[in-house]
Amino acid sequence: MSPGARRVAVLCAVALGAAWLLAGCDALGKVGAATHNPPASQFTVSGRVTTVDVNGGGGSVDVTATARSNVSVSQQASYSGTAPTATHTLSGTTLTLSYRCPTELACSVSYVVQVPRGVAVTVSTAAGAVTLTSITGAVSARADAGLITGVDLGSPTASFTSNAGGVVAGFSAAPRSVTASTNVGPITLTVPGTATYLVHTHTLLGTSSVTVPVSGTAAHSISASSDVGSISINPG
């Protein structure tokens, strides 16, 4: 087998493994949904917050920026035996949300967070979808297995990483810098066509389509890389 064919075979195996992982995570989520799902708990943080850091696990994370003046959090636990322990800490102006699970078949916490405009947002999940809406501060999202979605983003800088899933992000204002990468999954970025971009794309098994205005000296940069998956960068 040639080196090129061997690489394709390895990438296809990775893709199949990722599909199995996502199917397994979905199955566990359904098992958890059939066990314990108490009502979501809610709280607000009255202190000044400039950064929200969500350390998720197996649940989804949804963060939306609004005109509100404080941070509101709704957290929904799902578990098969013992409830997870969810914590939130405010250190300086950084709010961190996280949880710990006992060893059991299914255990997760899903978050719905509302933040003031301008707050920076960082999210990480092991297996769960991430949705970011109307964020205007810097944004960073990482999902080991899950889709990352950005809607109406005004962030000056954005970083998205999904090992097995994909990235779909739309910007209402031209970002200064965007990086998006996946091991397995497509990347679709939509940015204002009124700006010019310095664009770099890389994919081993997939196609790349760039239809935004490009320039080697542009002040706005986009970098997108997918091992297995297509890349599309479009004006919107």
Lowest mean pLDDT among 33-37, 86-90, 182-186: 33-37
Amino acid 104: pLDDT: 82
* Of 103 and 217, the one with more pLDDT: 217
Amino acid 34: pLDDT: 56
- Displacement of CA 103 from its chain's centroid (Å): 25
Lowest mean pLDDT among 8-17, 34-43, 59-68, 182-191: 8-17
Q: Under CATH, what is the fold of the domain 3-235? A: Pectate Lyase C-like (2.160.20)
Amino acid 30: pLDDT: 41
Strands 187-191 and 208-210: unpaired
Percent of the chain with pLDDT over 90: 83
Quick one: average pLDDT of 165-193?
98
Amino acid 16: pLDDT: 42
Question: Please, which pLDDT band fits residue 152 given cuts at 50, 70 and 90?
Answer: very high
With 90 as the cut, is the pLDDT of residue 26 above it? no
Beta strands in the chain (DSSP E): 41-45, 51-55, 61-66, 71-79, 85-91, 94-100, 107-116, 120-127, 130-133, 139-153, 157-171, 177-184, 187-191, 197-205, 208-210, 220-228, 231-235
Amino acid 35: pLDDT: 75
The structure tokens listed for 8 are 């394709």
Quick one: average pLDDT of 70-89?
96
Amino acid 105: pLDDT: 85
Quick one: average pLDDT of 20-42?
60
With 50 as the cut, is the pLDDT of residue 157 above it? yes
The structure tokens listed for 153 are 């983003």
> What is the C-alpha separation between 71 and 43, in angstroms, rounded?
9
Contact between 167 and 146 under an 8 Å Cβ cutoff? The reply is no
* All structural domains of the chain with their residue ranges: 3-235
